[in-house]
Structure 1
């Protein structure tokens, strides 16, 4: 949020007070005040303060001089002197203005409680003091008393209807309260009153960003900068707007300009970290995070970002205390503004994951909830109209495992529509997916409200969100209830923490009945596994070991999971396996160069030759699947399992072992191994996991038999029987729809196994 406007009184003028001073003295005091103020306004700060000290020494009872002292000392950062001057004013004359001045000094020192007390005293002495109500709103906002702050601003406006500053401050508070439409209304009213009000333009741009109206936000923010080009907060808003529009280079430039104008603006350093992180400049992003936290230590969203970035580069020494701080704060009920997806790799406690998701929903979904309940229309279609909403119809794991599902839907019973809210990467998988739908709608440019309107106009029966709380999501559209039945599936492995989603598609393994309480959605149990697979995914010609960077001899352990899933505990276990099996190597995906360097260092710290860690660069999927087959055994991670990566590994014919945790994300490996017919490769604790891994490495005949079983059963096992999966999925949709048509609320559903399964 842009910095709100603190009300300041106009230049002080002498009152007709009974001070005992002669008219001559009053004239001299008035002249002194004008001279001091003139020097200050011309930039002669030192001389102004010097004359002020002389004047107050000469006229110690002159209230006007002391009020001027409050303003000048506070403006120049001499806060102790400002506070002393304010108290001197109160000693000379108790008044609304005196308490108001004292409150300003308290605000400069971020002493919010003391400022509130002083402002309430000011209002006591002058119940119609509009400026005091405005500043009371400011200090209540800083104390997170949003409802009281809103009431204070409304009182300010009541007593001063043309008070533009109070309107825009009210708008900022309404934005913080997630009332975005009302916030925009207040900022626009401020601009009607004061058309050249740059701060109101900037605040309006921030509120428009929150509504997803990025193009309008951009022009609004540019107007703010045109009016006042030296305001850092406006450049920070501009940076955020460009980032939303995927114009990262412009976002970076705007951010750097904000920091140049105001180096101590913590929000600008946070924005810089976000942009650098998107560009995978993780070291520079972390520097920006640390600077933001130095300036504002309680900026939890920055702390959460730094934690996630450190996980990505496996910088565990700095990461571990941060992760514990975030877990403990979440457990205490604090909204740390951490992305729920990032929290999943911190803790596999499903209760905490639900708390984190709920906080995110309150911030991002609930603000779009209509003021009155929406009752979606139950349409009478010849075919059930299913729409899939996703940002990932591109080179992305979700696309690779769902492409065939869209193609196999029974067109005699279902009409299938795609709403793509992500960018077009012009990849082969995107082109294929587009042809797999009856209609493929590009809706990335639409606002949340516009997207909801299109979904309603298309008379969708069941809306399936495939993105959830992952990058570029539009899950906020669910709050507008554009479809009678709303489902979340696959992209985000957890609850969305909101009542606006009716169902989550799962299976008995990833969400056992005992965990239903940790899901706001009703749970749909698929018969075998919740995850689909594209059987048409090709596998390239297998490279040699040397071509893949592997030694010609020795056992090859592998894990191609993202680096943020690797924990110190699991890595230590892997190092023990390397020590126990001479000549073996650990083959990992190199997500970034820093993680490779850090893991080599961690290996050396554990007594393992860093050269035994082999890092694989990213390849096209078909080439990656070919090289995966060179591995002997895949080692899963905990607290966040492999998902599509596990499916890829099994499809390539490589056995995998997994340790089952408590959350959905930490039980997917178990689900997939069961569905491929290899339950013996599942463990429920890390000691058994370690023992199993070592046993398989030392028993090549047993491992070869498992590999043969995997190859033999690949085309018939449940995990890769995509036509059967689609039949079960369609049955699930029909069971949801029957309840909706009957006017029944959503309920947990167990999908029966289809004949022939």
Structure 2
């Protein structure tokens, strides 16, 4: 027995020693663990594979070494051994959170609280897990339970405040934070959180004080330094903000968000290089920082480094495709680069992500306006104004849309609305001026443009537009001054160069005008208006041979039409030679304009059984003539707002068989729509006296007198189509005055020669010839109607020029060019003189209608032979001269033979009225026969038939 008792004592002593050894090993492992010697500690823990504490601590080390799956397994084994040990649950929380297994964290604490419902810390930790899962109400219950168990639990008070803040209950949050601070006055995080809620409530000074207190308690509190910097930045105390951000970076140099925020301050201070450096530093730390990419793009945009900015925004979107600000900013930069289609795409992408982004609606509307897509633009501006009813720019832009659509009164109202919000909005005054000008109200337009200039003296567009008003009033000197000021304000404003050329052209200086047009092209080689103006001015100059003029037209075609030919598409129009034809007329002049005199009788007399008429109006002016023409057309399509591409698409969609250009290279033409070949047969007629230079236009209508066969075919890109009598049919104004029953010479005692053509046609060689005529006819006078002659400087210039060329001032009668003079002046002259080489057209017909004989000099091309065809059809071939001497002989003989002059004048209006010049039914039949012949040619063309097989229009 004694031996057995000794053995038992020995065994108990051995077991006690083993436990003592294990405790010593655990203590040694803990010492190593606390010292950060994790591998050594872990090795010791492994020697205790069945010890719950050792398993738990191995799990802690596994978590510290980011082996969280292993940590969960080890701590789970510890819990199996001791399921009530709260410390194990808290450690398991860390490992599960690292694996983002929050549901298991929640379950873990619910299990603990079943075993230990009075554990305040467990309630607090369960609240944390629920909060992180977004279950704020349940989290709040947990925090309140923790506080109920431990009223001095500062962390629970703080966490409850965070929940309230997340719920937007910032007043309640502040109360909780203050309770936390009452429990623990040194609780820096509670001060920082107080600052967050105070900032949300707009109490910036108190928020800054709270952040300051947090920093005082914890000087290395990086987030508090950062938040204080943000508050100071919002307050505009930028130097203080920089100091706070710098303190944060001193503690944490790799804090990318702070570098980004600091960049924003430097950008705000316009220190763009410093801002860019900050954003680049942020991106060095976090390469996929989308906001920093976008912010760097904003800086580069401001530095006009637009292509680099594009790359930055693309980088931002590569990181975050839903970053709507980057979509928007990319749209802005692409718009500035002229990449309109891409810009439209990115604005639309921004709006898909953020539909209430008013600025994107506005900018998208501007792009649609530029593209002539006015319906789409109107929708965008409407959305912008729904979001921002007081958007000055939105109302202004909507005004631009309405003006483009010809809705002038609506445009005026929008501009006035914009000015109601912002009376000093110079652009709106300028837009209002344009609307008034479109309506023909030049006095109001001038006032608006002058107001815009007062508000913004260097407003080049306003100077340019004011010049346009003065040009329309015939005040060319003032117009020229305005254009020169526009160019001085903006040397890149190409339209001002072109407009200056127009004013000089109006002053009778076509060659100087051409030089200005060429300067415009030097700035913008694609400026088609300047190209067309050169071509038009060459018609008036005596310095260019017809072959030179044709070559310049051909260059126009080569530059603007040739690149489009590859996109020409086949036409599916039904090839029936006898069917009813769809005829499209394209013109900017369907109003009180010379073109309307000739097109109106045709529209009225077209055989509607043979033709269906479409009028594409490229103007905005609406007057009684417009209304009459619109009533005569079966289809009236305003098209000024359509781009050339969209107009061509509309014409093709309308199934037009024969498309007629009525403008040529005059203002408002749509030749680049014709260059896209939207109709199978295209012709030019009436509005321009020469070739267009486009091979897409198949024919040019002329007549056998103006261009006899064999004379001018080489001067035309188009094939000539000869009408049998005359190329046009004249319709006088209904209110034109009666013809006086005798030559004015009987009243005056001297013969009055007159020329009421555009004075630009009256070149020096013409005036020199007329001076010789006055020498042949003693006491005769020369009456000239001249745009702007009522300006003293203009009158002095003209008088001096005439005197220099042999026409003394006492034999000059100079009258201003005005609508009221169009017919009235003819009753003051005896004989009209046609200028050369650019003859009169409408003016010559007006002349004969008013009973005044016209003397013309026949040239060798259409422009120089319009007088020939007019006089031949009027039955006055004897007034056509074939040399300058013959011109003098004919005019002088008529002037010196009063009886013959009286006979020639007697009944001239009636003879003209009965001639082909005004036989509208006869002319319209000839025109329709021409159209039918053109159509037959197309139908019979095997080449086009072979390549065209798209669906037919019915």
Q: Do both proteins adopt the same fold according to a TM-score greater than 0.5, normalized to the shorter chain?
A: yes
Question: Which one of the candidate residues 833, 844, 862 is aligned to 1:646?
Answer: 844
- Structure 1 Cα separation of the partners of residues 917 and 558 of structure 2: 33
Q: CA deviation at 1:334?
A: 1.6
Question: Can you list the C-alpha shifts for 1:276-311, whole angstroms capped at 9, x where unaligned?
Answer: 444444444444333332333222223222221232
Q: How does 1:695-706 map to 2 (within 5 A)?
A: none
> Does the 8 Å CA contact 1:677/1:717 hold for their aligned counterparts?
no
Mean Cα displacement is larger for which, 383-392 or 310-319? Answer: 383-392
Residues 1:272 and 2:272 are matched in the alignment: no
CA distance in 2, matches of 1:602, 1:53: 72
1:698-717 counterparts in 2 under 5 A? none
Q: Distance in 2 between matches of 1:359 and 1:375?
A: 29
Query: Is 1:627 matched up with 2:795?
Result: no
Aligned to 1:596: 795
Which of the numbers 657, 669, 687 marks the counterpart of 2:856? Answer: 657
Which of the residues 754, 758, 765 maps onto 1:562? 758
Give the number of the structure whose residues are more often helix, by fraction: 2
Aligned to 2:343: 149
The yes-or-no answer on 1:334 pairing with 2:526 is yes
1:507 maps to 2:703: yes
Between structure 1 and structure 2, the one with the greater Rg is: 2
Q: Structure 1, residues 185-232: CA drift from partner, whole Å, max 9, x if none?
A: 444454556565543443344234333344554555555555666544
The answer for unaligned runs of 5 or more in structure 1 is 1-13, 15-20, 40-47, 75-80, 363-370, 748-757
Counterpart position of 2:502: 308
CA apart distance, 1:589 = 1.2
Say which of 762, 774, 783 aligns to 1:587.
Answer: 783
- CA deviations on 1:229-268 (whole Å, 9 max, x unpaired) are 6544344434433443445455445444544554444333
Query: 2:425 & 2:295 partners in 1: Cα distance?
Result: 25
SS in structure 2 at match of 1:540: coil
Please, which moves more after superposition, 336-345 or 400-409? 400-409
Structure 1 residues 337, 142: closer, same or farther in 2, change over 3 A? Answer: farther
Q: CA–CA distance in 2 between the matches of 1:725 and 1:534?
A: 8
Q: Does residue 727 in structure 1 map to residue 926 in structure 2?
A: no
Residue of structure 2 in register with 1:325 after alignment: 519
Looking at structure 2, the residues matched to 83 and 24 of structure 1 have their Cα atoms a distance apart, in angstroms, of: 29
1:528 corresponds to which residue?
A: 725
Alignment partners' CA distance in 1, 2:377 and 2:784: 49
CA distance in structure 2 between the aligned counterparts of 1:374 and 1:245, rounded to whole angstroms? 40
Aligned to 1:184: 378
Alignment of 1:376-387 (within 5 A): none
1:644 Cα deviation from its structure 2 partner: 1.8
What SS does structure 2 have at the residue aligned with 1:525?
strand
Structure 1 residues 723 and 532: alpha-carbon distance in aligned structure 2, compared to 1, 3 A threshold: closer
SS at match of 2:359: helix
Question: CA separation in 2, counterparts of 1:679 and 1:154?
Answer: 69
The 2-side partners of 1:317 and 1:462 are apart by 36
Deviations 1:547-568 (A, max 9, x none): 77xxx66x86643211343456
1:243-254 matched pairs, under 5 angstroms:
243-254=437-448
Structure 1 match to 2:364: 170
Q: Secondary structure at the match of 2:537?
A: coil
Q: Which has the higher contact order (CA 8 A, sep 6+)?
A: 1
| 1:63 is the counterpart of 2:259 | yes
Distance (whole Å) between structure 2 residues aligned to residue 57 and residue 546 of structure 1: 99
Q: Is the 8 A contact 1:313 1:563 kept in 2?
A: yes
Long gaps (5+) in structure 2: 1-207, 209-217, 251-257, 541-548, 563-568, 643-650, 943-954
The CA deviation at 1:625 is 2.9
> 2:605 and 2:300 mapped to 1: Cα distance?
67
Shift of 1:636: 0.9
From the superposition, tell whether residues 711 and 514 of structure 1 become closer, same or farther in structure 2 (CA, over 3 Å).
farther
Separation of aligned partners in 1, 2:325 and 2:894: 81
Matches within 5 A, 1:315-714: 319=513, 321-326=515-520, 334-338=526-530, 344-346=536-538, 349-350=549-550, 352=552, 397=594, 489-493=685-689, 505-508=701-704, 509=706, 512-517=712-717, 519=718, 524-533=721-730, 538-542=738-742, 544=744, 558-567=754-763, 586-592=782-788, 593-594=790-791, 595-603=794-802, 609-617=808-816, 623-630=824-831, 634-638=833-837, 640-649=838-847, 652-658=851-857, 660=859, 665=863, 667-673=865-871, 675=873, 678=877, 681=880, 689=884, 693=887
* CA distance 1:373–1:139, shift in 2 (3 Å): farther
Following the alignment from structure 1 to structure 2, what is the Cα–Cα distance between the partners of residues 282 and 346? Answer: 20
Distance 1:99 1:416 in 2: 57
Deviations 1:563-607 (A, max 9, x none): 343456756776788899998764321322244332224346668
**What is the SS of the residue equivalent to 1:344?**
helix
CA RMSD, 1 decimal: 6.3
Task: Give the TM-score normalised by structure 2.
Answer: 0.55
How many residue pairs align between the two structures?
A: 682
Hey, what's the Cα distance between the residues in 1 that align with 2:940 and 2:378?
Answer: 35
CA distance change for structure 1 residues 655 and 219 in 2, over 3 Å: closer, same or farther? closer
Task: Assess if the C-alpha contact under 8 Å between 1:243 and 1:251 holds in 2.
Answer: yes
Do the aligned residues in 1 keep the contact of 2:300 with 2:309 (CA within 8 Å)?
yes
- Separation in 2, partners of 1:328, 1:703: 55
Q: Matched residues in 1 for 2:703 and 2:346: separation?
A: 51
- In structure 1, the partner of 2:83 is none
Could you tell me how far apart the structure 2 residues matched to 1:701 and 1:584 are?
9
Q: Is the 8 A contact 2:844 2:867 kept in 1?
A: yes
Contact 2:605-2:924 within 8 A present in 1 as well:
no
Q: Distance in 1 between matches of 2:282 and 2:603?
A: 80
Deviation at 1:118, TM superposition (A): 5.0
Is the Cα–Cα contact under 8 Å of residues 848 and 854 in structure 2 kept in the other structure?
yes
CA distance in 2, matches of 1:373, 1:178: 25
Q: Quote the Cα distance in structure 1 between the aligned partners of 2:279 and 2:372.
A: 40
Shift in Å at residue 107 of structure 1?
3.8
Distance 1:329 1:233, change over 3 A: closer
